[in-house]
A and B are shown apart, each in its own frame.
Chain A
Amino acid sequence: MNRDSSHQNTIDDHATSSNGDALAERLSIAVQLMNDSIDIDPDVLSGVPVVRGTRISVARVLAEIADNSNLSAIADNLEIDFQSLKNIIEGLSIRLDRPFAE
């Protein structure tokens, strides 16, 4: 198919712009989810990221998931808010869903 090179550029630019907007929106959602669910405070667990309002590190929760525990069981066992854990996982998922190397 013969395509005008300037048209091609326009289509590509449009596509890139749309993807860029979508990516920016998703990253914004991810940041919001994680900000709502994670605290980083130098005076709480010496600044290690924790599940909001708790002294339980996010790393611990992720390690428990890696150890084959399901999210609701972890929330119940550690007595932390299930929705916060879901938000953290969702936020991480969005943050990692992009190229980190080209």
Chain B
Amino acid sequence: MIHVQFDECFSSKRVKALCDAEGKVSVSTFPHRLRNKSLKDSEVVGRFFPSHSALITTDHRLPIKQAEHIPHEHPGIIVVRNNGPHTQRERDIIEVLSNFKRRVPQWERLTWSNSIVELYQDRVEIYSIRDGNPTRSVVARFDDSDFLIAFTGALNAHLTRER
């Protein structure tokens, strides 16, 4: 089972309920004690790392602008991206996640450590922090014949970090 921490911009009761019903993911919602506190981007990383839960967010700027606050070793950041024609809605988030899970049947057994994974409608992009900057390792398109190999290979390559 995968453990994830919802960022507030990702968090919703409906998505939490869907995760609970699926029974394959253990969810920590955005803590109530931090609501209405205008939690700063740097504090999101500081508060939730180091935990053992991957952070899931829709804030694609977070890993870029807060790279310096991301620890050398971390449980992973999953960014649900939107490349559709309109502003991202809950239904878009659910669609991206559902599509990804269809393409990656073993998704709940993956280890995301030290990876920053951007999920799109048609692909995943995998980054890691190198020399203080997010550096892209792989763009794996769902239509690629070697999609699963490329995706899981990139995740596995980040599990052990060199100092």
Q: Chain A residues with Cβ under 8 A from B73's Cβ?
A: none
Tell me if B133 counts as interface (CB < 8 A to partner A): no
Dominant secondary structure at the B interface: loop
* Interface stretch (choices A9-17, A18-26, A75-83): A75-83
Tell me if A46 counts as interface (CB < 8 A to partner B): yes
Total CB contacts across the A-B interface at under 8 A: 70
Which chain A residues numbered 49 to 97 have a C-beta less than 8 Å away from chain B?
52-57, 59-60, 62-64, 66-67, 76-79, 81
Binding site for B on A (CB under 8 A): 39, 41, 43-46, 52-57, 59-60, 62-64, 66-67, 76-79, 81
Do residues B12 and A77 form an inter-chain contact, with CB atoms below 8 A?
A: yes
Do residues A45 and B9 form an inter-chain contact, with CB atoms below 8 A?
A: yes
Interface residues on B, range: 20 to 34
Binding site for A on B (CB under 8 A): 7-9, 11-14, 30, 35-42, 44, 58-59, 61-62, 65, 86-91
